[in-house]
Structure 1
């Protein structure tokens, strides 16, 4: 810990004795940041329903909170996600907050005063898209995990996709990617993975920032192959994007992989953890300490022996990934800034297509402009060459 005392003393302009006391606080904050990155936790409620305005034609929900004015249409999860409603775009602003039309209440009792969160999920089951859907289980290294198997109306022979949601979300998040691939004739497997409801716990009950989860992605690819797939597209959201990139870079099924589609992907984890540390007014070296603690396994994560976070970078993935990649990213993403996606595209311009939109929060890009998002996704999926096209 001597080097950290020395750095802290220099940063704060204080003596060794005060630095020795301060380094304890630094270590505590670094440990907290590291644990937060890998610990599953219930998402916070970020809006409150201040008023419900009902008439014969529509119900209007007035919301107050930091997410209430996001552009686009969203799901509203309330009562610890047991309630689900769908809300349209912002209609008005007033003393009660922001007004949105309640398009549908799928479950629960939407009422005034309830706290909730806006999510980009929208759909609750891929069967809502009109495709034949099965609920299946697939084996992973920790036990069986649930998944949706979605059959397109006109399947292109032996073409499959694995859809992988992000950290702290549920498979419902990834359903938005099913329709454009189904129209392209691709059979979809929308998976749960370790630490999800419907899936086994991972090591220590914690996340592996996509490294451990990539093995569940590979297990899903194995299931697809067992069911007849000869080529597979990986479709990942946020940390699910990391898992897909790791599987593409290091996995045993790279020979059947034809491409990646990523939405708001976490590509550079060192930069991402520094971004979140800065958001808490912590200096960079505190984030670096957290990275070191995770790397050495001092803060336990979902990977035995520690997390090789520094290997999760745009430069590393650009070197290792050799299939076409489509990235949906937003300049307004405050949770996973688009810088990593930009660096990845710049480092591998022949393979990476970056669709960078101006508006849209993290994993909520579809919600702002679903038509354009789906059109580009479908076009990309249709154009993917067979695996091994580069010789």
Structure 2
């Protein structure tokens, strides 16, 4: 029914008070201004809360070890037996790059080594590769797998003698492989894997170390899934793990080594750099061999934020959370990280240990730019070998002969007998 105005009540008229209107009176401008400001404040608060939550999530992801690794590679078919065995995989940005790699499947219980790319069918989005070795598991039952640059499971896969030992870290005993050289020199190699990896990442370097007479200590470190965890269970991005390398150096010295070469992959490079800078045993570090190293975490974290479509301001706030004491409640870190101390681009002139860097210009995780800049700023100490198509820490996989030749040639020069000013060795 249509609305009709009702007559005012008699009581209201007799009282002298105006009758209430059926239409609301307009609210004062100050009310609308306050309401608008309140709405804007609420929106800004919501946006700030959302950004803070995303920054905290990003920061935690950086320092939290991943215990379960995604098996995101499709295994389409397995054909043949023995030396004729082939596997057909879904073509991806990784599987289409030539070289030797591995597949891990069945939650890591299965592991096979794959050879060079034999066939790539873009129209079918498939690749075919030979199976060079089957270390564990039944590949014929695999439906999904994880692609990896690891190619060996233990030193035994290389036909090398080794011993399982434990390093006495301050958080507990950490497993390591001790691989004696057949013709040992007084210099040892200590090999440090990267973030999210394990000792197996380092095995590719063992043949080169053997050729140079380097007894190798392939170590684990805190929170890597093999060594004991710290109370906070977080990576220190090199700020804490370098102490475990110091323990490894001391082990080598106690076993008769005169000095060591530190090998480091990715975050392992940041750990090695920190050990060579901060350890009381740094004078015993003869050289560094770094594969796709993190030499500037700020640059890497900014790149990762962009890669994951995180706004730059949110990524920067994530770095703030990691670097300040008040961020610990959100990140879970026991202590804040010192990004300035781990910025070797800015600190380039302070690097006084001869360093070989091997880095792909196509690295999709740790960009090559900081390595290029480090070599430019300190050419006296830093030698850079760039690779193509290798993606992250897969320089050896793409071109093992060149990788081994570069390391062998450079280290031979570094390990040559040092001559005293008078000309004596």
Asked if TM exceeds 0.5, the reply is yes
Q: Deviations over 1:206-228 (max 9, x none)?
A: 11111111111111111111111
Q: Which residue of 2 aligns with 1:34?
A: 59
Cα RMSD of the aligned pairs, angstroms, is 2.2
Partners of 1:302 and 1:159 lie apart in 2 by: 39
Q: Which residue of 2 aligns with 1:178?
A: 206
Q: Deviations over 1:125-158 (max 9, x none)?
A: 11333332111111111111111011111111x2
Q: Which residue of 1 aligns with 2:4?
A: none
User: 1:78–1:115: 8 Å Cα contact kept in structure 2?
Assistant: yes
Q: Deviations over 1:200-251 (max 9, x none)?
A: 1024111111111111111111111111111111000010110000111222
Q: Which residue of 1 aligns with 2:8?
A: none
Partners of 2:152 and 2:187 lie apart in 1 by: 23
Partners of 2:135 and 2:82 lie apart in 1 by: 19
Largest Rg, 1 or 2: 2
Of the three residues 78, 82, 90, the one matched with 1:64 is 90
Q: Which residue of 1 aligns with 2:136?
A: 107
Partners of 1:379 and 1:219 lie apart in 2 by: 28
Moved more, 86-95 or 174-183: 86-95
Partners of 1:324 and 1:203 lie apart in 2 by: 35
Q: Do the aligned partners of residues 39 and 131 (structure 1) sit closer, same or farther apart at CA in structure 2, a change above 3 Å counting? A: same
Q: Which residue of 2 aligns with 1:22?
A: 47
Q: Deviations over 1:74-102 (max 9, x none)?
A: 01111111100011121112326111111
- Do residues 312 (structure 1) and 317 (structure 2) align? no
The structure with the greater share of residues assigned to strand is: 1
**Runs of 4 or more above 6 Å deviation:** 386-391
User: 1:160–1:187: 8 Å Cα contact kept in structure 2?
Assistant: yes
Q: Do the aligned partners of residues 186 and 34 (structure 1) sit closer, same or farther apart at CA in structure 2, a change above 3 Å counting? A: same
Secondary structure, counterpart of 1:260 in structure 2: strand
Q: Do the aligned partners of residues 113 and 327 (structure 1) sit closer, same or farther apart at CA in structure 2, a change above 3 Å counting? A: same
Unmatched tracts of structure 1, length 5 or more = 1-13
Kindly tell me the number of residue pairs found equivalent between the two proteins: 377
Unmatched tracts of structure 2, length 5 or more = 1-38
Q: What are the residue-to-residue correspondences of 1:1-391 with 2, within 5 Å?
A: 16-41=41-66, 42-54=68-80, 58-64=84-90, 66=92, 67-94=94-121, 95=124, 97-111=126-140, 114-156=143-185, 158-297=186-325, 298-299=327-328, 304-385=334-415
Partners of 2:332 and 2:340 lie apart in 1 by: 16
User: 2:198–2:226: 8 Å Cα contact kept in structure 1?
Assistant: no
User: 2:345–2:370: 8 Å Cα contact kept in structure 1?
Assistant: no
Q: What is the TM-score with the length of structure 1 in the denominator? A: 0.91
Greater relative contact order (Cα < 8 A, sep 6+): 1
Q: Do the aligned partners of residues 50 and 173 (structure 1) sit closer, same or farther apart at CA in structure 2, a change above 3 Å counting? A: same
Partners of 1:339 and 1:207 lie apart in 2 by: 24
Partners of 1:104 and 1:381 lie apart in 2 by: 30
Partners of 2:91 and 2:118 lie apart in 1 by: 16
